[in-house]
């Protein structure tokens, strides 16, 4: 593969976006819904698959699109190309509070494995595929599912992490235990498996799930402090329940406290 060489800059703190500079005829691919803004002279095109050389030909495009369905993503991706002379800029935004992580695939042996909803965008020529687990336990207990995304090529890709991002460099044989939803991605040299927490009290009252993800080095692991699934659960728990009553923000007075605070909505 020879992915397009792109320059970029990441802006913001909690709600980041990445601005990519495209030379003439350069292009980037992105998931639907991540586009933020672009300068005039950039052409947008919806395609099957990811537009990489792996999907050349009609059959290859259909197979690439079909694989994307298995990860819960759309069959289509969007490609943005600079079709005029001169440099042009395009930006892609984070879908929720967190950090954008630039991944230089040349530093990771041309392959990076990530959660199915972590991918944001990449240089054209980078292949976005699926990574099946070879172990049954991951499929049943992996939390986020046993199908992960595989990013391959020799260009830049960008993934998104919820909350704060942590980077761990594991030595050979070194093991890291992580909540299954807190994994962003890892290099191809890392061994990924599922481990039962154990203990009756942990199982019933721990509130942390029944399984850890165990990541064994050597390699690099990226983790996130606030997976989107956890964020969504917290929002649902705090949302007004049926009948229109909320949790009172933890106040002992509940609804009366809202009235005293000046919140008189009924």
**What is the average pLDDT across 48-73?**
58
Q: What does the chain come to in residues?
A: 266
Report whether pLDDT(151) > 90: yes
Average pLDDT, the chain: 78
Report whether pLDDT(104) > 80: yes
Instruction: Compute the distance between CA of residue 178 and CA of residue 167 in angstroms, rounded to an integer.
Output: 12
| Pick from 55-59, 74-78, 112-116: least confident | 55-59
For residue 116, what pLDDT band results from cuts at 50, 70 and 90?
confident
For residue 234, what pLDDT band results from cuts at 50, 70 and 90?
confident
For residue 223, what pLDDT band results from cuts at 50, 70 and 90?
very high
Instruction: Compute the distance between CA of residue 29 and CA of residue 80 in angstroms, rounded to an integer.
Output: 6
Which residues on adjacent β-strands are paired with residue 168? Answer: 221
């Amino acid at each position: 593969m020879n992915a397009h060489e792109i320059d970029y800059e990441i802006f913001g703190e909690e709600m980041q976006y990445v601005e990519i500079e495209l030379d003439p005829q350069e292009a980037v691919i992105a998931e639907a819904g991540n586009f933020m803004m672009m300068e005039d002279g950039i052409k947008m095109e919806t395609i099957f698959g990811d537009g990489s050389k792996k999907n050349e030909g009609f059959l290859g495009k259909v197979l690439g699109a079909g694989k994307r369905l298995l990860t819960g993503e759309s069959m289509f991706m969007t490609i943005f190309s600079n079709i005029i002379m001169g440099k042009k800029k395009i930006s892609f935004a984070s879908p929720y509070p967190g950090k954008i992580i630039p991944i230089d695939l040349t530093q990771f042996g041309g392959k990076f494995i990530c959660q199915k909803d972590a991918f944001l965008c990449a240089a054209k020529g980078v292949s976005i595929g699926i990574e099946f687990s070879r172990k049954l336990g991951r499929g049943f207990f992996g939390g986020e599912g046993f199908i992960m995304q595989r990013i391959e090529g020799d260009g830049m890709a960008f993934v998104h992490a919820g909350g704060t991002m942590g980077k761990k460099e594991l030595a050979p044989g070194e093991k890291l235990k992580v909540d299954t939803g807190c994994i962003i991605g890892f290099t191809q040299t890392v061994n990924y498996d599922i481990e039962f927490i154990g203990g009756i009290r942990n199982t019933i009252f721990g509130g942390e799930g029944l399984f850890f993800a165990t990541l064994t080095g050597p390699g690099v692991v990226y983790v996130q402090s606030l997976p989107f699934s956890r964020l969504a659960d917290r929002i649902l728990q705090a949302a007004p329940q049926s009948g229109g009553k909320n949790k009172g923000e933890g106040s002992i007075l509940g609804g009366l406290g809202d009235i005293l605070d000046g919140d008189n909505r009924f």
